C-alpha cells in the first residue's frame, strides 16, 4: 500500500475543521496528522511533524495565516501551502501569493474543488480556484512587447500543459521528453516572458491569450 500524504489544517473555526476532516477522510491517499486553531500552534506542530500539505486559513487569533505562512516557509522553504479563505479580496490573494503558496481556494468552493486542490498541491502543482484566478489575471497588465516574443512548438506545448496544472513529470510523460528537458523549456519560457515563477507565467499566458483553457 502506498504511503499516505500527511496533511495539517490551520483553521480557527471548529465547523470548518470538521468539514476538512471529513473531506480528507474520504481521500484514500491522504491522512490528517494535525489540526491547529492558529498560527502559533501550527508553528509548534511543524517542529514535530513534516507534512506534505498545509491547508491554511488567513484570519485567525494570535497569529494569522499570512504571518504563519511566512514563518513556516522560512523554517521549511519546500512546504506546500494551500490557502483556504472566506475572502476573495485582492489584498489577501496577492499577499499570500507573494509569500510563495502553492494554491488559494475559497471556502464556498464545492467538495470536488477541495479534493482537486488538495491532490494537486500535495503533488507539487499550483491550484487556484476560478474566482481567484480571475482576480489574478485581471490585475496583470498585458505586455506591449508580445509581438516580439516567439515560442518554439515545444515551448508552446509545455506552456499549454503548465497552464492546465500539470507537473514537470506529467508533462514529460505526455510529450515524451525527460523531466530535465521540461525544466529547460519552462526556464526558457520564464526568461522570454520576464516572469519570475510558473504562476506568473500562467497568468501572463492567459492574460495575453497565448493559451485558451
Show me where the domains of the chain are located: 5-138, 142-207
Q: Are 185 and 155 in contact (CB under 8 A)?
A: yes
Parts of the chain with a pLDDT under 70: 1-2, 87-90, 139-148, 212-213
Q: What is the per-residue pLDDT for 140? A: 61
Residue 168 CA to residue 164 CA, distance in Å, equals: 12
Fold of 142-207: Arc Repressor Mutant, subunit A (1.10.10)
CATH number, domain 5-138? 3.40.50.2300
Provide the H-helix boundaries in the chain: 14-25, 39-46, 65-75, 90-99, 111-122, 130-139, 153-163, 168-175, 179-193, 198-207
Q: What is the per-residue pLDDT for 213? A: 60
Provide the H-helix boundaries in 26-64: 39-46
pTM of the model: 0.76
Measured over the CA atoms of residue 50, residue 73, residue 104 and residue 88, the dihedral's sign is positive
Q: What is the per-residue pLDDT for 210? A: 82
Amino acid at each position: 500500500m502506498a504511503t499516505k500524504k500527511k496533511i495539517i489544517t490551520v483553521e480557527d473555526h471548529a465547523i470548518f475543521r470538521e468539514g476538512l476532516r471529513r473531506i480528507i477522510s474520504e481521500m484514500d491517499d491522504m491522512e490528517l496528522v494535525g489540526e491547529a486553531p492558529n498560527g502559533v500552534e501550527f508553528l509548534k506542530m511543524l517542529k514535530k511533524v513534516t507534512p506534505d500539505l498545509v491547508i491554511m486559513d488567513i484570519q485567525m487569533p494570535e497569529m494569522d495565516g499570512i504571518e504563519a505562512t511566512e514563518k513556516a516557509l522560512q523554517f521549511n522553504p519546500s512546504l506546500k501551502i494551500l490557502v483556504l479563505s472566506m475572502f476573495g479580496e485582492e489584498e489577501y490573494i496577492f499577499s499570500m501569493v507573494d509569500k510563495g503558496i502553492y494554491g488559494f481556494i475559497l471556502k464556498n468552493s464545492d467538495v470536488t474543488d477541495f479534493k482537486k486542490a488538495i491532490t494537486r498541491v500535495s503533488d507539487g502543482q499550483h491550484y487556484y480556484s476560478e474566482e481567484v484566478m480571475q482576480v489574478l489575471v485581471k490585475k496583470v497588465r498585458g505586455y506591449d512587447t508580445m509581438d516580439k516574443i516567439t515560442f518554439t512548438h515545444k515551448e508552446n506545448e509545455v506552456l499549454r500543459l503548465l497552464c492546465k496544472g500539470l507537473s514537470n513529470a506529467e508533462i514529460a510523460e505526455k510529450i515524451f521528453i525527460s523531466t530535465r528537458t521540461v525544466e529547460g523549456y519552462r526556464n526558457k519560457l520564464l526568461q522570454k516572458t520576464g516572469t519570475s515563477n510558473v504562476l506568473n507565467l500562467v497568468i501572463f499566458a492567459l492574460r495575453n491569450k497565448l493559451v485558451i483553457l
